[in-house]
A and B are shown apart, each in its own frame.
Chain A
Amino acid sequence: AQSVAQPEDQVNVAEGNPLTVKCTYSVSGNPYLFWYVQYPNRGLQFLLKYITGDNLVKGSYGFEAEFNKSQTSFHLKKPSALVSDSALYFCAVRDLLTDKLIFGTGTRLQVFP
């Protein structure tokens, strides 16, 4: 079965520092991977996706993610964190057998001024 894992419940980073939110996946076949962000009392917002092509994917709000097939990872990154980036981040993979979108457990990012 397809799955994603987000090994960190929370990531703390100082404003201006680079940030990484980790995600690893387990799929059979080519993975379709997604990152979403959720601000308090809001729905999820799409950030970026990897379908095929370049391993470095650029998305909204200055975020990018690096697809690494050998490490089965799809970590979310940003060169310089903002306090406003503080939110809950979800990694997801498309299960090609069922067509369901499988979400990770989420990582809370806290950016301190």
Chain B
Amino acid sequence: KAGVTQTPRYLIKTRGQQVTLSCSPISGHRSVSWYQQTPGQGLQFLFEYFSETQRNKGNFPGRFSGRQFSNSRSEMNVSTLELGDSALYLCASSLRGPYNEQFFGPGTRLTVL
């Protein structure tokens, strides 16, 4: 089975721009979660989608948004980029259910200049 894929792997943007990151989950997984990882803040939960609906949301400003398509692929968008948005953005997919582990993609490294 193919793993979780994320594109692009690396991205460099300037302040004020917007960015869209993409995630393709493992086949059969309908739950997709997004995390932001920074050295200072660790792993922070952004949001989770299941069956095209946002099920959970973390404590991030409205500049961070996402969506999920009918094939379970997900995108996240960050508008009006700030320097502090520089981070590794991780996507994870899983089967629905609290006892199921999440499978992570390799991440997208976003650098905001």
Contacts and interface: CB of A to CB of B under 8 A. Distances in A.
Interface of A: 32, 34, 36, 41-46, 49, 51, 90, 94, 96, 98-103, 105-106
B105 A90 contact: no
Interface string B94-113: 00001101111111010000
A106 B42 contact: yes
B105 A103 contact: no
Contacts of B33: 101
Say which size band chain B's interface belongs to.
20 to 34
Given A42-B106, A43-B105, 17 more contacts: A32-B99, A34-B101, A36-B104, A43-B6, A43-B104, A43-B107, A44-B90, A45-B104, A46-B102, A49-B101, A51-B99, A90-B43, A99-B48, A100-B48, A100-B58, A101-B45, A103-B43
